[in-house]
């Protein structure tokens, strides 16, 4: 199941893709990582999906990544006596802690922490931005606002706060229960929703204790403002353009996507571009030309992965959506300008042994036209630093740890393989060359370059480069 592309594909599972046959079909079509959305999945459903994904993994003997996406704080207004209220631009409208059913003048806001953070002049967006309020004054648990846009507001519509920093954190009681249920399962990544600051990531890290990689979803203006600190504490980020486009002007989102992609690459952290990539394929067998261009933009920018949401979770054509995304990515990476664009975005290596080694490996591999860069990695760091270089040759992430191999399924250009612990340099060369041959990267007599750390078995000590030849029978190297 070697992919003919370097960007990875995340596919969300849901009602249209919740059986093992469909999961296998999505994997065959090109899905590298499967997303389980805890906004809709119960704990039992999550466990069943993990079991089915792992059965597909065992059948094909290929590491598959699993991402559990936490719901995060879902802020909503209360209900109205008539089910909805007609608002007029310019009128005052009150949000308060009174649980009485609302009317055209006021409504209950059940999230009391909001009142502590609101200030005059802050904007409040309701119903995905269809209704916009401006805060006039806040007294205790009562906020007086002025309607700036919108007309009708109905029960339980969502609340977005583009100007307000909530101090309550990104993890809700539901998220904590979901994390507790996920911890015993064979999961690789957890996505944190509505992250605003680095402290939100630190809070989750205390609970996770290294069991999963943490992927921070960037979907609020506050996260964009604090992005460098968030990236530093995260293991990966996701450009969640749906909510980001609600809380920020739509015209700013493409530039933010480009900035986040480059910042994450500079840090050597995987970045996923998500939301509405092939939205029309929920109900249509082919995408629009604009959607194809959107996916292509993410690929040309050097994103590690692109994601399907409802297209694969609840759409009528889940397999076709994955297959389409796969074809678009393959075509972009074969384009004449692709190597030039990727090279132009390359940043200087940091002053670490891992960066020096992997940057040198990339340069040697491209200069000598080697078959592959093979990274012997226990934690995944060496392979991620090699991925940061965006080399023109394939990267093989060779790890003795299955969990590391699965986690690398989201990283650009990394073909991850579970291998035995190596005993010495000769054993390392033999295993690396055999894997490169067996996985279809190198022919007998071909050459690869191996990046590793000695002494073996210790994480975080990348300090070795070795050029090796594949033996005539392909079973060893020298």
* Residues belonging to the active site: 35, 76, 217, 275
**Residue 304 gets which letter from DSSP?**
S
Beta strands in 207-350 (DSSP E): 213-218, 236-240, 271-274, 305-308
Alpha helices by DSSP H, listed for 8-89, are 20-29, 43-60
Nearest to 326 by CA among 281, 371, 364, 367: 281
List, in order, residues 6 or more apart from 302 with CB less than 8 Å away.
261, 262, 265, 341, 342, 345, 390, 412
Lookup: tokens for 311: 């297209």
Cis peptide before 159 (omega within 30 of 0): no
Are the CB atoms for 204 and 225 separated by under 8 Å? no
Burial (Cβ within 10 Å: 0-12, 13-18, ≥19) of residue 199: middle
Q: Which of 148, 146, 200 is nearest to 169 (CA)?
A: 200
For the CA atoms of 131, 133, 138, 142, the dihedral, rounded to the nearest 10 degrees, stands at: -30
Residue 244 and residue 253 in contact, taking contact as beta carbons nearer than 8 Å: yes
Q: Which residues contact 457 (CB under 8 A, 6 or more apart)?
A: 378, 421
């Amino acid at each position: 199941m070697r992919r003919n592309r370097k960007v990875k594909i995340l596919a969300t599972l849901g009602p249209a893709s919740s059986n093992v046959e469909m999961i296998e079909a999505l994997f065959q079509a090109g899905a590298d990582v499967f997303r389980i959305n805890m906004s809709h999945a119960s704990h039992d459903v999550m466990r069943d999906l993990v079991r089915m994904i792992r059965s597909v993994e065992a059948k094909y003997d290929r590491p598959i990544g699993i991402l559990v996406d936490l719901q995060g704080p879902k802020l909503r207004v209360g209900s109205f006596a008539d089910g909805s209220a007609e608002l007029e631009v310019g009128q005052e409208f009150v949000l308060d802690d009174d649980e009485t059913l609302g009317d055209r003048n006021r409504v209950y806001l059940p999230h009391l922490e909001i009142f502590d953070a609101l200030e005059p002049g802050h904007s409040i967006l309701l119903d995905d931005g269809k209704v916009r309020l401006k805060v006039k004054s806040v007294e205790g648990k009562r906020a007086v606002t002025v309607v700036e846009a919108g007309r009708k507001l109905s029960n339980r519509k969502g609340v977005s706060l583009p100007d307000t920093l909530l101090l309550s954190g990104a993890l809700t009681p539901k998220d904590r229960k979901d994390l507790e249920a996920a911890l015993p399962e064979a999961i690789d990544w957890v996505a944190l929703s509505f992250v605003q600051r680095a402290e939100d990531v630190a809070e989750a890290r205390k609970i996770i204790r290294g069991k999963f990689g943490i992927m921070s979803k960037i979907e609020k203006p506050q996260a964009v403002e604090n992005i460098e600190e968030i990236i530093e504490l995260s293991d990966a980020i996701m450009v969640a353009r749906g909510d980001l486009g609600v809380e920020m002007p739509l015209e700013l989102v493409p530039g933010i996507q480009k900035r986040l992609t480059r910042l994450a690459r500079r840090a050597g952290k995987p970045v996923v571009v998500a939301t509405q990539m092939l939205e029309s394929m929920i109900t249509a067998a082919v995408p629009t030309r604009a959607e194809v261009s959107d996916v292509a933009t993410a690929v040309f920018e050097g994103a590690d992965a692109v994601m399907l949401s409802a297209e694969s979770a609840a759409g009528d054509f889940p397999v076709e959506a994955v297959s389409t995304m796969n074809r678009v990515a393959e075509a972009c990476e074969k384009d004449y300008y692709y190597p030039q664009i990727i090279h132009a975005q390359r940043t200087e290596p940091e002053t670490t042994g891992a960066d020096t080694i992997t940057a040198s490996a990339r340069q040697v591999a491209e200069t000598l036209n080697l078959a592959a860069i093979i990274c012997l990695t226990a934690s995944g760091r060496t392979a991620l630093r090699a991925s940061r270089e965006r080399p023109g040759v394939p990267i093989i992430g060779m790890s003795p740890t299955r969990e590391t191999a699965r986690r690398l399924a989201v990283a650009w250009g990394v073909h991850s393989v579970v291998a035995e612990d190596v005993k010495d340099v000769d054993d390392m060369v033999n295993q690396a060359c055999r894997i490169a041959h067996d996985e279809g990267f190198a022919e007998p007599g071909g050459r690869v370059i191996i990046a590793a750390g000695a002494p073996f078995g210790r994480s975080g000590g990348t300090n070795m480069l070795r050029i090796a030849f594949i033996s005539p029978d392909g079973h060893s190297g020298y």
